[in-house]
Structure 1
Amino acid sequence: MSAPRLRTALAAAVALAVTSLTGCGGDGPAGSRPGNSGGTAVSGNLTVFAAASLTESFTRIGKDFEAAHPGTTVTFSFAGSSALATQINHGAPADVFASAAPVSMKTVTDAGNGDGAPTTFVRNQLVIAVPKGNPDGVAGLADLTKPDVKVALCAEQVPCGAAARKALDAAGVRLTPVTLEQDVKAALAKVKLGEVDGALVYRTDVRAAAADVDGVEFPESAGAVNDYPIVVLKDAANKPAARAFVDHVLSDTGRAVLTEAGFQEP
């Protein structure tokens, strides 16, 4: 090839390379541009429905996610998993669902409202929450049956309530709670307020409220451990951000936050 033709061919190749690079980094749709971390850039609002027991850890994870993805805003709705599942199936707008038990997740996926298969990301175990100092000397489930001990449980349709029933049955303990709550935070609040002498809640909730309550471990809880699944929802308004959030929860960074909060590896 002659020198002029060689220079022309080289110039064309350079122009094509520049055009390709410009096309990759241009002003394409949100969710299609590479981010600074080498992943996919996401932006916009993201709504996450999550079990009440995830309140502290997911709030921190949400802030970390926003910092890693400038331009995103994460809004959480924390409540009992069964209530959240019902809301999703009735059309409540949400992008991600994180449940405290597979049964509540199955309610959503059986209705066709999941986008892909859920992933179990952590597990959680029950303890007995008692007032600071354990004034009633509660050492196990049997102590909750004493006539002067008032107990709060989660309602059985709520994951923490179903786990509590399983643990109580395994221990052969029959007790009558003075209140049945719709999520684990509400049951814990009864202890913090001094309205009850004990409540069956998750280990992570006691750790988050360590200034106000103590936790009493009991062996039957090992047979009532809850798996926590997470999924992007079918009607998510911001699927790129939803998928990125789930990836963040499953990442080493997300798992470190959850482990620090007291959750167990799945």
Structure 2
Amino acid sequence: MRLSHRLAVSALSLVSAASLVACGGASDSTSSSTPTSEARDASTASGGTAVTGEITVFAAASLKGAYQDIAEAFEQANPDASVSFDFQGSQDLVSNLSEGSAADVLATADTQTMDDAAGQNLVGEQREFATNVLSILVPAGNPGGITGFDESLNAEGVDLTVCNSQAPCGHATEEMERATGVTLDPDSEESKVSDVRGKVESGQAEAGIVYTTDAVASTGSAGTEEITIPDLGIINHDPIAMTAAAANSEGAQAFIDFVLSDQGQEILRGYGFGAPAGSASETPADAESAEPAASETPADAESAESAESETPADAESTEPTESAQAESGTESG
């Protein structure tokens, strides 16, 4: 179930041993709570002082809930800074940047769209901060009888909504069609995943292909249901980058660092996002359980030594066998 705005921030604050107070979901909310040392470290500029000024972030629609929570925590750590957002389909954000819209940070829902921005020299270095996979969202009770990413999505009487082919969620849907051999016949195609989700929540569609993060958020707030599907290796990698024309470069870098920090990552996980590829995604328990296998105990070492070293008695006991084999003319192998 999706962590509530208040619960997500409060839980993280306990871990950091400081209080963070949620303020109802607004991205420009501030608080008088004392910033945690982790938040200060993750969100300060290279000079070591808290950043100031407005930071404009263009972010994919699928990031809205998580990024609003991240912005709230970031602002608490930097009371003289404010974060404003434009949440749209990733392709529309890149188009807006290309047409001259001002932003300090770009966060997209796939690498293909970010690479498009990089190809136009609109952004600098990109860093992956999360992963996401597809799922199916249906109204409560699953009136369309959807059973998975299969022909039930094309059944008579099922209004299906998906992202269009220009959107990252549309790219992933097309890859899923190729992987499953199922060709969808949607009734509507949307430019951003939040619109797909909205049509299911409003009862205008019996099924929508969304990200698992949207399904988690919707089932926790709108009474919908999620039909999980195997990812079949189709995973969206979400990158973030400072824009080439950032007006507040220090603030932009501080926000990016905060997203990548343990606190930012914990918020993203609370919304159902996966860890970025190549990160230390192991849980502490996984790491601990792997240590005994990797480390050799003294007893293990002794046992290995005794197995490797051959006693004179052992050598003598093998000689007759070898001799007998030679006499009988048998070969091993």
Q: Give the structure-2-normalised TM-score.
A: 0.67
Q: Does 1:230 align with 2:256?
A: no
Is 2:225 the partner of 1:214?
yes
CA contact (8 A) 1:121 1:228 kept: yes
CA distance in 2, matches of 1:84, 1:152: 22
Shift of 1:132: 1.5
Shift of 1:72: 0.6
The question of 1:203 aligning with 2:212 is answered yes
* Sequence identity percentage: 37
Cα offset, 1:214, TM superposition: 1.0
Q: What SS does the corresponding residue of 1:249 show, helix, strand or coil? A: helix
**Secondary structure at 1:236 match in 2:** coil
- 1:223 match: secondary structure: coil
For residue 112 of structure 2, give the secondary structure of its aligned residue in structure 1: helix
Deviation, 1:203, is 0.5
Task: Specify the SS of the correspondent of 1:232.
Answer: strand
Shift of 1:36: 6.5
State whether residues 133 and 214 of structure 1, in contact with CA within 8 Å, keep that contact through their aligned partners in structure 2: yes
**Matches for 1:1-266 after TM superposition, within 5 Å:** 39-115=48-124, 117-142=125-150, 143-210=152-219, 211-212=221-222, 213-219=224-230, 221-266=231-276
Q: 1:150 to 1:69 in 2, by over 3 A?
A: same
User: What code does the residue aligned with 2:126 have?
Assistant: P
Alpha carbons 2:57, 2:83 under 8 Å: kept: yes
Deviations 1:75-133 (A, max 9, x none): 00000000001111111100000000111101111111212x20011000000000012
Deviations 1:203-239 (A, max 9, x none): 00111111321111112x3322100000011100000
Q: Secondary structure at the match of 2:59?
A: strand
Q: For residues 256 and 133 of structure 1, what CA distance do their matches in structure 2 show?
A: 32
- Say if 2:40 and 2:77, in contact at 8 Å, map to a contact too: no
The 8 Å contact of residues 167 and 223 in structure 1, kept in 2 or not, is answered as no
Whole-angstrom distance in 2 between the partners of 1:249 and 1:189? 26
What is the alpha-carbon distance in structure 2 between the residues aligned to residue 230 and residue 36 of structure 1?
20
TM-score normalised according to structure 1 size = 0.84
Give 5+ residue unaligned stretches, structure 2. 1-38, 277-333
For the pair shown, the structure with the greater C-alpha radius of gyration is 2
Amino acid at match of 1:216: I
On the 8 A contact 2:179/2:232 being kept in 1, the answer is no
- Structure number with higher relative contact order (C-alpha < 8 Å, ≥ 6 residues apart): 1
Which residue identity is paired with 2:167? Answer: V
CA contact (8 A) 1:123 1:227 kept: yes
| Residue segments in structure 1 that go unaligned for 5+ positions in a row | 1-34
1:85 is paired with a residue of what secondary structure?
A: helix
